[in-house]
Amino acid sequence: MDELTKLSQETQAALDAAADLRAWDAVRVAVLGRSGSLTALLKALGKAPPDERRARGAALNRLKDELTDAVEARRRALEEAALHARLAAERLDVTLPPRPQPQGLIHPISRTMEEMAAIFGAMGFSVGEGLDIQTDWYNFGALNIPAHHPARADHDTFYLPGERDGRPLLLRTQTSDVQIITLLAQEPPLRVIAPGRTYRADHDATHSPMFHQCEGLVIDRDITLGHLKGCLIDFLRAFFGIADLPVRFRASYFPFTEPSMEVDIGWNRRTGELGAGGDWLEILGSGMVHARVLANCGLDAREWQGFAFGMGVERVTMLKHGIPDLRPFFESDLRWLRHYGSSPLMPTMLHERA
Ligand code: DAH
């Protein structure tokens, strides 16, 4: 019996000492293998005197069960440890920058539109999309600009052959079509911005036939001019990164808002510096959504009010980054793109910035 106890203790100690599966397997073979020590004892059992055989046989079988269990338990423990070691060693560090560093840069127009989405997103706006090829109803009619209206002449655009819904097709002159798309598709209350491409038959240092605007629309039950002002002041100060940027609201006219206001920011005309200098620079159009626009989309102006705004993406980008000329935005000059492009890894969300 001492012999069996010793074998049990030795095997357990050897298993404990086995640091990996290879060492574990050597212990297993040495004890339970074909020429293992326990196997040899079992084989020798046949030669034992018959009266000893029963008691010794039972003890040997108990020992075999015990050691088989111990060997299994050690295997499971080693496998688990190996898995943990692998998981720890192979852990992905998602904070590492991609290697090699990306070659491309974000175009300043895309960057500005991402920033707009981030700032308005923090105010609960979602991002909507219009259509570059639009009908004159979405671009003009539904926005309270009837066929004879002089505002159509200001928006001289490109008309296309064919029609949709029985209406002539054109390249949209403003992102304001998204107001109509949104009002027809969504139940208020709603808040949406829509950055996108727009077109007009203009081409000089400050006008490109293709340019970008960002529209904004808020509809709810108790929206006032105060909401419009607070929202746009907050946006402009966040976008230009000037906490006390002067903002001025000036009465104006747009067919689809009543009242309408142009929004100016303070700057220095001589140096181009924003935020100081006593001069004013017009930056966007805005107003309370006209009751007729709401009615055109099936909403009752006694129940729902809202405000809208629209701004030129190139214009605010030029001001923010001190870019003097509009034309290089679309000339694909690599020197310009490298100078004004920004890293795709630079965070857009305000709270991520240092
Ligand atoms: N769509 C106008 C334009 O292109 C800009 C604008 C003015 C949009 C006032 C608006 C607004 O939503 O309320 O000149």
Condensed to tens digits (0 to 9), the pLDDT of residues 25-41 reads: 999 999 999 999 999 99
Which amino acid is residue 251, in one-letter code? A
Q: Which atom of ligand 1 is nearest to the CA of 213?
A: 4
Q: How far is the CA of 81 from the centre of ligand 1 (A)?
A: 65
Q: How far is the CA of 134 from the centre of ligand 1 (A)?
A: 16
Q: 51: pLDDT confidence band, cut at 50, 70 and 90?
A: confident
- For residues 299-318, average pLDDT: 96
Q: Which atom of ligand 1 is nearest to the CA of 216?
A: 12
pLDDT of residue 97: 76
Q: Which atom of ligand 1 is nearest to the CA of 173?
A: 4
Q: Report the distance separating Cα 128 and Cα 213, nearest Å.
A: 13
Answer yes or no: are the C-beta atoms of 353 and 114 closer than 8 Å.
no
Do the strands 190-199 and 126-127 form a parallel or antiparallel pair, or are they unpaired? Answer: parallel
pLDDT of residue 245: 96
- For residues 162-176, average pLDDT: 95
- If one residue of 156, 254, 289 were mutated to test the ligand 1 pocket, choosing by the most ligand atoms within 8 A of its CB, it would be 254
pLDDT at 157 over 90: no
Q: How far is the CA of 178 from the centre of ligand 1 (A)?
A: 11
Q: How far is the CA of 176 from the centre of ligand 1 (A)?
A: 7
Q: How far is the CA of 254 from the centre of ligand 1 (A)?
A: 7
pLDDT of residue 101: 66
Instruction: Give residue 49's region: left, alpha or beta (phi > 0; psi -120 to 50).
Output: beta
- If one residue of 138, 177, 309 were mutated to test the ligand 1 pocket, choosing by the most ligand atoms within 8 A of its CB, it would be 309
Answer yes or no: are the C-beta atoms of 262 and 295 closer than 8 Å.
no
What is the average pLDDT score of the chain? 92
CB within 8 A of 328, min separation 6: which ones? 336
Q: Report the distance separating Cα 319 and Cα 170, nearest Å.
A: 30
Q: Report the distance separating Cα 88 and Cα 40, nearest Å.
A: 42
- For residues 15-21, average pLDDT: 94
Q: How far is the CA of 161 from the centre of ligand 1 (A)?
A: 26
pLDDT of residue 114: 95
Instruction: Give tens-digit pLDDT for 84-123.
Output: 998 888 888 888 877 776 678 999 999 999 999 999 999 9
pLDDT more than 90, % of the chain: 77
- pTM above threshold 0.85: no
> Which protein residue's CA is at the shortest distance from atom 6 of ligand 1?
310
Q: Report the distance separating Cα 218 and Cα 202, nearest Å.
A: 30
User: Which residues sit opposite 272 in a β-bridge?
Assistant: none
Tell the burial category of 274 from Cβ atoms under 10 Å away from its Cβ (0-12, 13-18, 19+).
buried
For 206, other C-beta atoms within 10 Å of its C-beta total 12
- For residues 184-190, average pLDDT: 97
Q: Where is average pLDDT lowest: 117-121, 181-185, 276-280, 311-315? A: 276-280
> Taking the alpha carbons of 319, 320, 325, 329 in that order, is the dihedral positive or negative?
negative
- Residue 71 tokens, joined: 């060997």
Q: Report the distance separating Cα 182 and Cα 134, nearest Å.
A: 14
Q: 354: pLDDT confidence band, cut at 50, 70 and 90?
A: very low
Q: How far is the CA of 253 from the centre of ligand 1 (A)?
A: 10
- For residues 157-166, average pLDDT: 92
Q: Which residue has the tokens 């709603």?
A: 190
Q: How far is the CA of 328 from the centre of ligand 1 (A)?
A: 25
> Which protein residue's CA is at the shortest distance from atom 2 of ligand 1?
310
- For residues 182-190, average pLDDT: 97
Sheet holding 167-171, edge to edge: 133-135, 167-171, 159-164
Q: 154: pLDDT confidence band, cut at 50, 70 and 90?
A: confident
> Which protein residue's CA is at the shortest distance from atom 3 of ligand 1?
174
Q: Which atom of ligand 1 is nearest to the CA of 154?
A: 14
Q: Where is average pLDDT lowest: 42-51, 176-185, 248-257, 318-327? A: 42-51
Q: Which atom of ligand 1 is nearest to the CA of 256?
A: 13
pLDDT of residue 296: 97
pLDDT of residue 203: 82
Q: 136: pLDDT confidence band, cut at 50, 70 and 90?
A: very high
Pocket flag, ligand 1, residue 254 (CB < 6 Å): yes
Q: 310: pLDDT confidence band, cut at 50, 70 and 90?
A: very high
Q: Report the distance separating Cα 317 and Cα 266, nearest Å.
A: 16
